[in-house]
Amino acid sequence: MGHDDGMDDGTDDGRDDCVDHRTIDELEAGIDAIRSSPRDGGVLELIVRRPAVGERDVLDVAELCVEDGVRGDGWRARGSRHTPDGSAEAGRQVTVMNARAIALFAGDRTRWPLAGDQLYLDMDISEANLPAGTRLALGEAVLEISPEPHTGCAKFRDRFGVDAARLVNTPEGRRLRLRGLNTRVVLPGTVRRGDTARKAAALVADG
């Protein structure tokens, strides 16, 4: 399915055999709700830190920093198999997922952290709305959208089903960034659950 260094944290497969995965018909029925996500001013619904393999900390408040992304997260320590020296990829520092998409795939909010992303926004994160290079102000911090794609891998399939994994990797799924997007921190600061995310262009226009 393709690699996804920004997404996950190692060996924990997070599989829950007691959960019925959504069918393709159920998933496709939810796409319009995702398409109608706010184009700007989206609310931060969930913050997750991944300190170690298989661990998830759900936070009300987090510090975003240029060096480590989400402070206390294991992004830097995990590194990447796609860099010559094994160091972490700056463009995959902080991953963002559409809150309506993860609600569709995961159902109950307690299962959202299984996706392995750190920030879950009720906002249109499609390529058309947030092209690479766009800056997104969130709380006191600013993130920049990276060009590196965020794709569904085997762990995503195990956690949310074959149909979900196929859907996020269709051309439309990639355009909508149903699996999420990669960012890097360009301005450090505090973010809180309930904060509103705004495109940098909107901030300039309002200024």
- Structure confidence by residue, pLDDT tens digits, 107-142: 999 999 999 999 999 999 999 999 999 999 999 999
DSSP state of 41: S
Residue 88 has pLDDT above 60, yes or no: yes
**pLDDT for position 16:** 53
How far CA 119 is from CA of 62, 84, 112, 124, 132, in Å, comes to 10, 28, 10, 14, 17
Cα–Cα distance between 67 and 90 in angstroms, integer? 9
**pLDDT for position 87:** 65
Query: How confident is residue 74, by pLDDT bands cut at 50, 70 and 90?
Result: confident
Q: What are the domain boundaries of the chain?
A: 24-206
Cα–Cα distance between 79 and 53 in angstroms, integer? 13
**pLDDT for position 114:** 95
Residue 9 has pLDDT above 70, yes or no: no
Query: How confident is residue 86, by pLDDT bands cut at 50, 70 and 90?
Result: confident
Per DSSP, the three-state class of 119 is strand
What is the phi/psi pair of residue 58, to 5°? -90, 125
- Structure confidence by residue, pLDDT tens digits, 142-175: 999 999 999 867 889 999 999 999 999 999 999 9
Cα–Cα distance between 151 and 122 in angstroms, integer? 19
Q: What is the mean pLDDT of the chain?
A: 88
Q: Is 30 exposed, middle or buried (0-12, 13-18, 19+ CB in 10 A)?
A: middle
The pair of three-digit structure tokens given for residue 75, joined into one six-digit string = 């992004």
**pLDDT for position 76:** 84
Query: How confident is residue 84, by pLDDT bands cut at 50, 70 and 90?
Result: confident
Tell me the pTM.
Answer: 0.88
**CATH value of 24-206 in 2.130.10.10, 2.40.33.20, 2.120.10.80, 3.60.15.10:** 2.40.33.20
Which of these ranges, 16-25, 61-70, 130-139, has the smallest mean pLDDT? 16-25
**pLDDT for position 154:** 84
42 within 8 A of 192, measured Cβ to Cβ: no
How many Cα atoms sit within 13 Å of 194 on the Cβ side?
A: 2
Cite the beta strand spans of the chain per DSSP E: 42-49, 57-59, 61-65, 69-70, 94-98, 119-122, 135-138, 141-145, 181-187, 189-192, 196-199
Q: Give the chain's count of helices (H) and strands (E).
A: 8, 11
